[in-house]
Structure 1
Amino acid sequence: MTDIRIPFSEIKDILKKVLTRYDFDPERAGLGAQLFAQANLDGVPSHGVNRFLSFLTFIQKGYVFPENLPELLGNFGALERWDGQLGPGNLNAHQCMERAIYLAKTHGIGCVALQNTNHWMRAGNYGWQAVEAGCIGVCFTNTKPNMPAWGGKEPKLGNNPIVIAIPREKGPVVLDMAVSQYSYGKMDIFRREGKEMPYDAGFDNEGKLSRSPSEIIREELALPIGLWKGAGLALMLDLLATLLSGGHGTWQIGNNGAEFGVSQVFLVFDPEKLGMEDWMEEKSDEIIDDLVQSKAFRDYESVRYPGENTLKIRKENMEKGVPVNEEKWNEILKLLP
């Protein structure tokens, strides 16, 4: 797949114009376009522009309703429960993280549980949203079944992504990961390029470890991180998202025939409100400084912390243009009036 570089503002403008043709009002179209473009800007195309066309397909199929807004179901102090009304997953997630930030700045801790929503695209966007507000953010989602229970031969668990984000003046620490060895978006990139995965990524239909993205995607048998430990973590994230939100579990999402109606949780801590600001930066720096001083097996390599390169990649892409898959971009351009 060939990438071309396009100015960030142009990507946002084009995507916004397309979204307005799919019943988004201008303000929501602008935010939706920014969230898609931000993923590519930060070096995560698998969950940015690469997902845009499939997102539009979900709208056409009636899985995503552009005009639907989240509805508050209940308020319990620092916890709120919302119904996403099958609206756009990225817009629902952005709003719920905003609410969690507000609750944290009011109570010290804020939690928003969201049911009946859709794929939130790049999960890391919401971690960065939290740290840019000076807060610690944790969020996670369930998905359709696309990973086996340990020892199982069929997809029963979701690869339920989780984000943990910590603000830091020298560079926020932002972990954004699925609990499968590779996300399906990443495997799809390798599949399109005709490449095998660098490490074992899932199972074939005989239960043997595989590096073939096509085979793994077809069977929906991604490899859990940490083997049985990752499978256990996936189950617990599904339970938490489902129970706190009152929404659907992975098994129910699997019965939909497509991935929609997922459950999510957004948890935020405000360091200032919790009296942490006097020592938070110092302790964070001590931990990170110790980590990056680690000796590496190869002299030319170094140890990095999660999110370390994001600001560097963002700066470079703002200057040189954002890498976008040329084939997908041309398909998007065809949607303009």
Structure 2
Amino acid sequence: MVKGGPAKEDRTGHGSFSLKMNENIALLIGVLKSILSFSFSLSLSTFPLMQPLKSLRQHARFYSLSVRPPRVYDNKPSPRVYSEKKTFLYHQYLRLLESTAHSPLIFLQHNKFSVPRLIKVRKEIVQAASRHATPTPSLANPGPNALQTTPALPTLSVIRTSLFGVALRDFAPIDAKTSEEIAQTIQGGLVVLSLPVLNPPQLQAIIRALERSVPKPKPPTAEELKQAAALEAQDPPNPGRRVKRSRKIHKPELTLMGALIDGRVFKAEGVNQVAKLPTLDTLQAQIVGLLSSPGTQLAAVLNEASGGKLARTLEGLKKSLEGLEEPDANATTNPNPNANN
């Protein structure tokens, strides 16, 4: 072999084989890296413990209700600009508050409610309200056989308390004191029941339907607490094995918190007292009766003062005197009836 000349070719082919092996290994390593990165990103997005601050922040924002004026920051625009969805909800809550001039708002606190359970509660509210709904005659066909319009029924709406607090603060007809009373009344998840008109029997029927549909949980007895503590303290049935997880059955809760009726805030006790009142037509008839009774009594007094009672008294006295004079006259005409004999 001449020095400096070309090297002899590897006739065995080991060089090309090793080169292909290196390329395949590099390709395999790249595929594994992509799979690992995808699985890691997927675990970050699905694992709830990787986002504790965000979930807690959303939880706090959902259940907070404040009517205090907002803070003003130098680096943020004022007034605050909301997104399209929040703007829609803000105006919806404003319209809901504007309707309180003729339709009361009932505040309810919900907990552990699912969507199917909430739909069922809405159906039961509609059924209870339909029994006491009074249809109004239609003006399209007046007369004895007038058409009856479909009565308006209550609506149950799940409210975002943060935006509801902003709408409550900006609603002009309600003063700051009333807004603060409403904010103190509302606690936890908020559901608003909007009634078309103030109908106490209808409100009473709805409250009873809610109590039947979502009964209040009974407090555990001492024996039940003792059994639960003993169950937690006992050893697992299969030591060394992971305990099988069982899904806890949540019982929904719905609590009456208060109401906004004709610009006044009522607690739960006041709402129950309002529900025991008669209908507005009955109350108006009672007021008319109270106003007309003094006039009737005044007419009777004036009739007596005009001399009617005095004339009747003198007439009775005259008759009584005539009755006394008749025996005296008989005694004068025949003083001794046995004298002729």
Greater helix content: 2
Q: TM-score if structure 2 supplies the norm length?
A: 0.22
Could you say which structure has the larger radius of gyration?
2
Q: TM-score if structure 1 supplies the norm length?
A: 0.22
Greater strand content: 1
